[in-house]
Structure 1
């Protein structure tokens, strides 16, 4: 993947995904529950992947050239992913995992009905 457009194009091939916003920036969410699993980063050359802590730690340890974080992401279930990864298949697999995890969660507060 060379840029955010490539990430979006791949993510939209996954079931129940839509282009949306998250904290005011571009994102991809699960349509049925409003949970974001990808968002554009302010860090050049990277995007944000929302994923569980165990997977996050494994990715940071096993491939720090692709998966990384700034202090902003410490203690949060998300990390940065470089577009220029040498293993795009693994990045695709992690995007799919993040989508599946987001799809399994309850609707976001903004999606709940009163």
Structure 2
């Protein structure tokens, strides 16, 4: 998956804004960090629950990792060239649903015929 494919996917999620973070392209929802492309252009930083991060990395060791710098932050690093597009979409969608308003998330889920998360 590429950054342009990530941007195309997030167009399906309401309220996403493109911007920058630490001088690199980033995504926000409700002015809150959602994801950012790291300086190498191939790694995406995405928020996840710290307790879940180890499980995710163990389940997808070729695509997900964390560096010492990010160890204390609730983020996982995603190698976009190595990650399955469905995994990237799921990580972003989960982070978005935690940050977007409940009303927006509920409307989006209803539109898709899905139950509340």
Does the pair score TM above 0.5?
Answer: yes
Normalising by the residue count of structure 2, what TM-score does the alignment of the two structures yield? 0.76
Q: Specify every segment of 5 or more residues in structure 1 that has no aligned partner in the other structure, as ranges.
A: 105-114
Higher relative helix content = 2
Normalising by the residue count of structure 1, what TM-score does the alignment of the two structures yield? 0.77
> Deviation digits for residues 34-76 of structure 1, max 9, x if unmatched?
0011101124521111222123222111111111111111011
Tell whether 2:10 aligns with 1:18. Answer: no
Q: Specify every segment of 5 or more residues in structure 2 that has no aligned partner in the other structure, as ranges.
A: 102-117
Aligned with 2:39 (options 15, 38, 42): 42
Aligned alpha-carbon RMSD (Å): 1.7
Size of the aligned set, in residue pairs, is 101
Matches within 5 A, 1:1-114: 1=1, 3-30=2-29, 33-85=30-82, 87-103=84-100
Which structure has more relative contact order (CA 8 Å, sep 6+)? It is 1
Distance 2:91 2:37 in 1: 16
